[in-house]
A and B are shown apart, each in its own frame.
Chain A
Amino acid sequence: GAVVSQHPSWVICKSGTSVKIECRSLDFQATTMFWYRQFPKQSLMLMATSNEGSKATYEQGVEKDKFLINHASLTLSTLTVTSAHPEDSSFYICSARDAVQGALIAYNEQFFGPGTRLTVL
């Protein structure tokens, strides 16, 4: 149980285009999803926290108009990189958390998607 998928796993796009990345919790309801990114040889950094049905909370330095997050259902969050530029090339990872403690999932435990590698030419 507790599987999170991401799509696509990799994407190459031209500068100026928009790219949408999907994050799905497959066997649990994710009241909260997190979006992280990792530049080469650097640590993962939190970009934003997304709660179902409400606006995402962005970390300092992350442009909310550039990185659009939608968490419209309890199993799906999307990250859209608008007008992507080469400096947006990175590894984007989502994680999902179920706030309800159940038999298999402890409170506060996060489950990670496999990541999406974005290359902007």
Chain B
Amino acid sequence: KNEVEQSPQNLTAQEGEFITINCSYSVGISALHWLQQHPGGGIVSLFMLSSGKKKHGRLIATINIQEKHSSLHITASHPRDSAVYICAVAGGGADGLTFGKGTHLIIQP
């Protein structure tokens, strides 16, 4: 079973700061997802990665398959980025996702 660890668990930052959230996993995967969950519970898929780097607006996600590690970066953070960010992995033959516990991000104006 894959163990997914995220850090930090909680992060409070000022508007405009560069944010990094880390995710590590224990077993080889076929894909890694970064998800955003707002207080109401709804989940938005931000990225799906199997290698390299992806960028969408102010969000950047990277993955290092050899080191079993991924990072999510937010540039020029804004209060509307406040949410829980969740790393989830899809392993080999297992289709369902295994989730990290999430990082609760608060961006203060």
Contacts and interface: CB of A to CB of B under 8 A. Distances in A.
B41 A115 contact: yes
Contacts of B88: 44
Contacts of B97: 34, 36, 44, 46, 95, 110
A91 B101 contact: no
Contacts of A59: 96
Interface residues of B, number: 21
Interface stretch (B27-35, B65-73, B74-82): B27-35
Contacts of B100: 43
A45 interface: yes
B95 A32 contact: yes
Given A44-B86, A93-B43, A97-B95, A108 B48 contact: yes
B96 A46 contact: yes
Contacts of A111: 45
A108 B100 CA distance: 19
Contacts of B43: 93, 112, 114-115
B95 A34 contact: yes
A45 B48 CA distance: 18
A45 B95 contact: no
A49 B95 contact: yes
Nearest to A2: B45
A38 interface: yes
Nearest to B101: A43
B98 interface: yes
Interface string A19-44: 00000000000001010101000111
By Cβ-Cβ distance, the 8 closest A-B pairs, closest first, are: A46-B96, A112-B43, A44-B99, A114-B42, A43-B99, A115-B41, A43-B101, A109-B48
Interface of A: 32, 34, 36, 38, 42-46, 49, 59, 91, 93, 95, 97, 106, 108-112, 114-115, 117
Given A43-B101, A49-B95, A114-B43, 7 more contacts: A36-B97, A38-B41, A43-B86, A109-B31, A112-B44, A114-B41, A115-B43
